[in-house]
Amino acid sequence: MSGAVPLPSVAGGEALLLARRLGKSFTLHLQGGLRIPVLKNVALELRRGECVMLSGPSGIGKSTLMRSLYGNYRVEAGEILIRHGGGWIDLATADPRIVIAMRRHTIGHVSQFLRVVPRVPTIEIVAEPARLGGSVPEEARERARALLLRLNIPLRLHELPPATFSGGERQRVNLARGFAGGHPILLLDEPTASLDAENGAIVTDLVNEAKASGVAILGIMHDTAARDAIADRLFSLQPYQDAA
């Protein structure tokens, strides 16, 4: 099943992501093939205009689930249904070309660390998702510039590559890049971890504005005050042996 799948029955018809019966484990080949189960029978629904935060102790599988929902990890069981191009696509079995198209147009991801091609100017790094999504290049650059300025990245840095930026500056570039894409689904992994209170509040405002515009957001945040300022509900992951 690599193409569109039948629309599931969803109350209100506003779900954008449905994860069903997800299972994921890791095999340690350097330790005799030891298998470590992480996710079992995970079911998650993400709706338009809401922010869901993953919760649970460190090591429970929050980042594994996030990376699985973006397709960085292949799950071993279950479905990851994403509303894309007028239908539902199962990301878990989709052709790589379809996954690339979904990342360009439907689902964005802000990881904890900025990973980009060296020596590319910051403005181009931030504008790229919008440009790949179909925006006119100059419009993509204008949106990128506005987001960088809002996140306190001054104009003098926009034409420089971010390799020499501070950790907080790189994280803000990463966030600007994530919000610039205009994806209807956005995954945020610790978006305020390296930020001071002022910049953390700006991120909170960006998330709440994105929600108001209909974006569905799934995140991981250990800062409970920041989390509570944006989360509509928590999704608690349970230890593997206790999962339903």
Strand partners, 220: 54, 189
pLDDT of residue 1: 35
- Number of helices followed by number of strands (H, E) in the chain: 8, 10
- Residue 199 tokens read as 């910049």
Report the share of the chain in percent with pLDDT over 70: 93
Predicted TM-score of the model (pTM):
0.89
Residue 131 pLDDT class (50, 70, 90 cuts): very high
The domain ranges of the chain are 47-73+94-242
Other Cβ atoms less than 10 A from the Cβ of 74: the count is 10
Closest CA to 158 of 199, 121, 119, 117: 121
49-65: per-residue pLDDT in tens? 999 999 998 889 999 99
Domain range 47-73+94-242, its CATH number among 3.40.1390.20, 3.30.565.10, 3.40.50.720, 3.40.50.300: 3.40.50.300
Calpha distance 156→68 (Å, rounded): 37
